Amino acid sequence: MGLPAAVAVLAAVLALPARGLDNGLARTPPMGWLAWERFRCNVNCREEPRECISEMLFMDMADRLAEDGWRELGYEYVNIDDCWAAKQRDAEGRLVPDPERFPRGIKALADYVHARGLKLGIYGDLGTLTCGGYPGTTLDHVEQDARTFAEWGVDMLKLDGCYSSGKEQAQGYPEMARALNATGRPIVYSCSWPAYQGGLPPKVNYTLLGKICNLWRNYDDIQDSWDSVLSIMDWFFTNQDVLQPAAGPGHWNDPDMLIIGNFGLSHEQSRSQMALWTIMAAPLLMSTDLRTILPSAKEILQNRLMIRINQDPLGIQGRRIIKEKSHIEVFLRPLSHAASALVFFSRRTDMPFRYTTSLAKLGFPEGASYEMQDVYSGKTISGLKTRDNFTVVVNPSGVVMWYLSPKALLIQQQDPWGASCLPLL
């Protein structure tokens, strides 16, 4: 899409009324920790007690979120994924946790998490079995399981879709939304529904989805590799005209977990995932071992300005606005108070690239000047004018990310997203 068309789409988005699941939750993208990518379905607690899916793992992660500075930055969810349950429901048909790995039960774990100022998420599957082969939530168990999760004190539900038909999903995902709301407990609802339907219209109705779910998985599961990150990123930005209008306060596209701090990304690639997920207004759900995370990865994940951008209350998902033959791409997300976030991303694999442009070439308004802060380095530029050329040096598979706030704008002048800009001096 050319720049004028991109500007027109974003302007139209800003004019749309807010819509979404009316439970008042997830007004900004949820932040926290999720077990799956790092710990998968490891249930071998005898040989790997620190690595297996057990109450101890989630208690450890709750401790780390509370004690290592994560909670204060907004990382508040401790999310259980698959393989937590016993292989059979109890005599009353209720889901129960594995008694050896969760001897105190999920309610006690929720109490532990809540006592640390955090929230507990849990995993379910709208099907006969979960993806890992544990009891699923068939249609006749939707209301019962919603009540069970609420009684346990759960704060978020991720509902997967293995072992179910499209017809069952079309009935079951809305039914679970109603059942969760009927419990009276505020439970953020994460749906995998669109990922099982190809992620795009006509099979996926994003208007309907936004009325049912707080966030949803659109595409493939992330793996611990740069190729996986690129594949997800490419799908999201190739389909941004469909996906971007669907996102906003209370209803978010979810490109899947942050794999920063694991084994598959370089330092530059880790910075890129964090920046691009932030541009997408994506949930920031880490999946790494917070007990052993390296300081360099922790620094990326705890970048305060990055988190401020991700959590911007307007909740507008950004877009790719430039795709150069030089393999440099530019992404932009409009923010509150007429501010913007820019990401310059390099697909190159050879050497750092000097990319020269101006804000005018990126569609910013005439007669404006900006304060710029580099999100990673902290470097600032004061009084950057729209027509001023500048050069950024972008490392291979890396990013340069800027936060831009207007220093002076003419009254009623239109910004590149179609919203009038008042003077900010």
Q: Which residues are catalytic?
A: 160, 221
Convert 240-297 into a string of H (helix), E (strand) and C (coil): HHHHHHHCECCEEEECCCECCCCCCCCHHHHHHHHHHHHHCCCCEEECCCCCCCCHHH
| Distance from C-alpha of 39 to C-alpha of 125, rounded to nearest angstrom | 18
What lies within 8 Å, CB to CB, of 405 at 6+ separation is 337, 338, 339, 370, 371, 424
Angle at 255 between CA 28 and CA 200, to 5 degrees: 105
What does the alpha-carbon distance between residue 216 and residue 196 come to, in Å, rounded to a whole number?
11
C-alpha–C-alpha distance, residues 423 and 88, integer Å: 63
H-assigned helices in 26-94:
36-39, 55-67
Six token digits for residue 325: 């033959």
Query: Which H or E run contains 357?
Result: strand 353-358
Q: Nearest 5 degrees, angle CA 389-CA 392-CA 393?
A: 145
Give the C-alpha separation, 94 to 145, whole Å. 7
Q: Which of 212, 211, 123, 206 has its CA nearest to residue 174?
A: 212
Residues across the chain:
425
Query: How far is Cα 377 from Cα 400, in angstroms, rounded to an integer?
Result: 9
Query: What's the one-letter identity of residue 148?
Result: T
| Best CA proximity match to 160, nearest among 135, 186, 187 | 135
